[in-house]
């Protein structure tokens, strides 16, 4: 590892130890570093065989599909397959546990765009985690007869068991339904207590105004920069004693964003670009503590 990179990670390690508070932002790059990548063609071939056979290559290719092109039966076949992989086949990732070990006992908060529930599954106190884009565990009513959202595990297992592998569709009689009105359910994403998490996040940031705040951004790219990336730059700008550590590999996957994890010049030396895989940085931080 280049000396400059080691020095940057040492600075991060010091800041984790000495800061009053730690704010972590986690994007898809963190789960990818943990082995759960929506660009993983091998896993896709193995766990989404019906889709692979139809010419698709990786899970992210499918996100957002289906509104126009797919029947409702195929949409559910896809969601059930995808969520079963993310939530049941893929196990809690040790990388997340290592991250937890770095901040345990400190005053920390996590905001994440990941819906995969790895923070929950690895023992993070979920009162300190805000899943900004919701998560994969809930269903809601497609007709909005209630604001209630409910756990989707059984309904999705039922869909999985009834997928017609000739058509890759779930027959209408086996689709998830709203338990209140009987209409079709849909993926909930935002659980009914989403606002509670948002308020905790906002309060954490507001209360950190005069504190020494260590801001760590892990694997946040340009898919949804309004969720973590841009707010974190503004938070760092607004809180004088904060430092932003932007950890990401160069954006090689995106033709328009080649290069290192850039930081705004306005933040001066209060922002540090760490051009490195999140898994490597977290492991180095763990090793530095020994």
Among 6, 63, 172, 181, binds Zn ion (CB under 5 A): 181
- List the one residue out of 225, 137, 256, 126 whose CA is nearest residue 187: 137
Q: Is position 178 an interface residue for Zn ion (rule: CB under 5 A)?
A: yes
Please state, in angstroms and rounded to a whole number, the distance separating the CA atoms of residues 290 and 287.
Answer: 5
User: Is residue 254 a contact residue for Zn ion (CB under 5 A)?
Assistant: no
By the rule CB under 5 A, 63 interacts with Zn ion: no
Q: What is the dihedral of CA 41, 43, 48, 51, to 10 degrees?
A: 0
Which contacts (CB < 8 Å, 24+ apart) does range 223-229 have?
Answer: 223/27, 223/28, 223/113, 224/27, 224/113, 224/133, 227/27, 227/111, 227/113, 227/132, 227/133, 228/25, 228/26, 228/27, 228/111, 228/112, 228/113, 228/132, 229/25, 229/27
Q: Which stretch binds Zn ion (CB under 5 A): 25-33, 58-66, 134-142, 154-162?
A: 134-142
Segment near Zn ion (CB under 5 A); pick from 4-12, 17-25, 175-183, 217-225: 175-183
Of 7 and 183, nearer to Zn ion (C-beta) is: 183
Nearer to Zn ion, 143 or 270 (CB): 143
Is position 179 an interface residue for Zn ion (rule: CB under 5 A)? no
Q: How many Å apart are CA 111 and CA 23, to the nearest integer?
A: 8
Identify which of residues 45 and 143 has a Cβ nearer to Zn ion in the complex: 143
Binding status of residue 272 toward Zn ion by CB under 5 A: no
Using the contact rule CB under 5 A, the part of the chain among 79-87, 170-178, 230-238, 274-282 near Zn ion is 170-178
Give the count of alpha carbons within 13 A of 116, CB side only: 26
CB of 36 to Zn ion, least distance (A): 32
Out of 6, 126, 145, 238, name the contact with Zn ion by CB under 5 A: 145
Among 111, 141, 218, 274, binds Zn ion (CB under 5 A): 141
Note whether 129 binds Zn ion by CB under 5 A: no
* Choice between 125 and 154, CB closer to Zn ion: 154
Total residues interacting with Zn ion, rule: CB under 5 A: 5
Nearer to Zn ion, 126 or 145 (CB): 145
Piece of the chain touching Zn ion by CB under 5 A; list 80-88, 111-119, 122-130, 180-188: 180-188
Candidates 87, 88, 71, 41; CA nearest to 168 is 71
207, 234 Cβ separation under 8 angstroms: no
180 binds Zn ion (CB under 5 A): yes
Query: Which residues within the stretch 191-230 sit at the binding site for Zn ion (CB under 5 A)?
Result: none
Cβ-based nearer residue to Zn ion, 185 or 228: 185
Stretch that binds Zn ion, among 25-33, 95-103, 179-187, 230-238 (CB under 5 A): 179-187
Q: Any idea what DSSP says for residue 164?
A: B
Q: Which is nearer to Zn ion, 81 or 152 (CB)?
A: 152
- Residue 277 to residue 280: CA distance in whole angstroms: 5
CB-based burial, 135-173: b 16+ in 10 Å, e otherwise: bbbbbbbbeeeeeebbebeebbeebbebbeeeebbbeee
Residues near Zn ion (CB under 5 A) are: 141, 145, 178, 180-181
């Amino acid at each position: 590892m280049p000396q400059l990179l080691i020095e940057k990670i040492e600075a991060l390690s010091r800041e984790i130890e000495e800061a009053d508070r730690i704010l972590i932002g986690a994007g898809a790059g963190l789960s990818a570093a943990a082995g759960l990548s929506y660009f993983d063609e091998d896993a896709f071939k193995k766990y989404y065989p019906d889709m692979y056979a139809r010419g698709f290559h990786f899970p992210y290719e499918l996100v957002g599909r289906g509104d126009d092109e797919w029947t409702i039966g195929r949409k559910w076949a896809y969601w059930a397959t995808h969520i079963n992989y993310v939530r049941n086949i893929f196990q809690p990732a040790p990388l997340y546990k290592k991250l937890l070990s770095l901040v345990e006992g400190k005053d920390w908060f996590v905001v994440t765009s990941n819906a995969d529930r790895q923070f929950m599954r690895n023992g993070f106190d979920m009162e300190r985690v805000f899943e900004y884009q919701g998560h994969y565990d809930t269903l809601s009513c497609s007709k909005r007869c209630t604001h209630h959202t409910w756990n989707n595990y059984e309904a999705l297992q039922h869909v999985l068991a009834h997928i017609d592998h000739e058509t890759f569709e779930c027959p209408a009689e086996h689709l998830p339904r709203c338990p209140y009105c009987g209409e079709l359910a849909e993926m909930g994403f935002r659980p009914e207590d989403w606002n509670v998490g948002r308020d905790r996040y906002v309060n954490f940031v507001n209360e950190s105004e005069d504190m020494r705040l260590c801001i760590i951004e892990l694997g946040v790219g340009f898919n949804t920069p309004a969720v973590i990336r841009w707010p974190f730059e503004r938070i760092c700008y607004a809180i004088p004693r904060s430092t932003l550590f932007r950890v990401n590999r160069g954006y090689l996957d995106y033709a328009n964003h080649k290069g290192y994890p850039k930081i705004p010049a306005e933040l001066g030396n209060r922002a540090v670009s760490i051009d490195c895989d999140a898994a490597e940085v977290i492991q180095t931080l763990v090793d530095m503590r020994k």
